[in-house]
Amino acid sequence: MTRKLGGFNLPGPFRADQLKPGDPYELSGGHPIECLPVGGRGSRANLIGATILDSDPDVESAGVDTGFALTPDTLRAPDVAVGNVTDAPGWVKGTAPPLAVEYADTGQDEAELTAKIADLLAAGTRLVWVVRLVGPHRVEIHAPESAMRLAYPGEVLAAPGILRNPVPVAALFDRDAAHEVTLRNLLQRKGYRDLEQVREDGKIEGKLEGKIEGRAEGRSEGELAALRDALNLILDQRAFSIGPGQHAAIRECVDPDQLRRWLRLAIGATSESEIFGASANGA
């Protein structure tokens, strides 16, 4: 959420290089815009939106509150930016994210939001999605030289050339729906179509193993192997570091329900301990 200071129409005196990361301001035409903290609902929404978009198989970079120095006197930080997010300190200069997402909650300054959208589109952003958290759930779709369009839960959002997969509108609001989309995306990054393919591949492997070894439990072993593979893929993709004890627990677990629980937790967890408890990094 942002609030414009002043309301001047003439160019302001400030420049992007006068601000440093951590300063609570954006700039529009040289005028400072105070950036205020978001509430709980907004912060949760930002997190699930960023997770979905960053995990898309075609996305090479994404960021939260990344500062883009669009011009020397205009600095904008979308809630979520997809593309052109550098892995370096300082502002991203002279370019704009192809896709920007803004979450609008209670107290949103509509005039400032309109100005921010205009700044981004003028600098080269191809799509701005405004996710409305107040009133009926909906997403505004802004594009250069196009009228604003609305999308509602039950519909999907497409970003050709930016995202491989369409994004269900509901997933930008609902944590469980977001986790389903994120899981699909992460599995596709590893060459699977979706979780169902992982399961089917595991069942086939288990059947073959069962025939070869004469074991009737080949099918269930295949399902366990598929769940272990899916869990390890998610842990690896999300860069979680777990200890030997947890690796052994996954490898030796014969309870498919427990593996599914770990898998669901791994999709949305922010730390290893949220998945395996306080001993996540232990031996």
Tell whether the model's pLDDT for residue 134 goes beyond 70: yes
| Alpha-helix residue ranges (DSSP H) falling in 151-194 | 175-189
- Find out if CATH 3.90.1570.10 is the number for domain 16-191: yes
- State the Cα–Cα distance between residues 19 and 212, nearest whole angstrom: 67
pLDDT at 53: 96
Q: pLDDT for 266-278, tens place per residue?
A: 888 888 888 887 5
The residues near 123 (Cβ < 8 Å, ≥ 6 apart) are: 68, 70, 71, 74, 76, 95, 96
pLDDT at 144: 96
Q: pLDDT for 78-117, tens place per residue?
A: 999 999 999 999 999 999 999 999 999 998 999 999 999 9
Is residue 36 within 8 A of residue 3, CB to CB? The reply is: yes
Q: Is the dihedral of CA 279, 282, 52, 261 positive or negative?
A: negative
Q: pLDDT for 224-267, tens place per residue?
A: 887 888 888 888 878 888 888 888 999 999 888 898 889 888 88
Show the beta-strand stretches assigned E in the chain. Answer: 2-4, 25-28, 31-35, 62-64, 68-71, 74-76, 80-82, 92-93, 99-104, 127-132, 138-142, 149-151, 156-157, 167-168
**The tokens 């609570």 sit on which residue?**
24
> Which pLDDT band, with edges at 50, 70 and 90, does 217 fall under?
low
> Which pLDDT band, with edges at 50, 70 and 90, does 206 fall under?
low
Domain positions in the chain are 16-191, 198-274
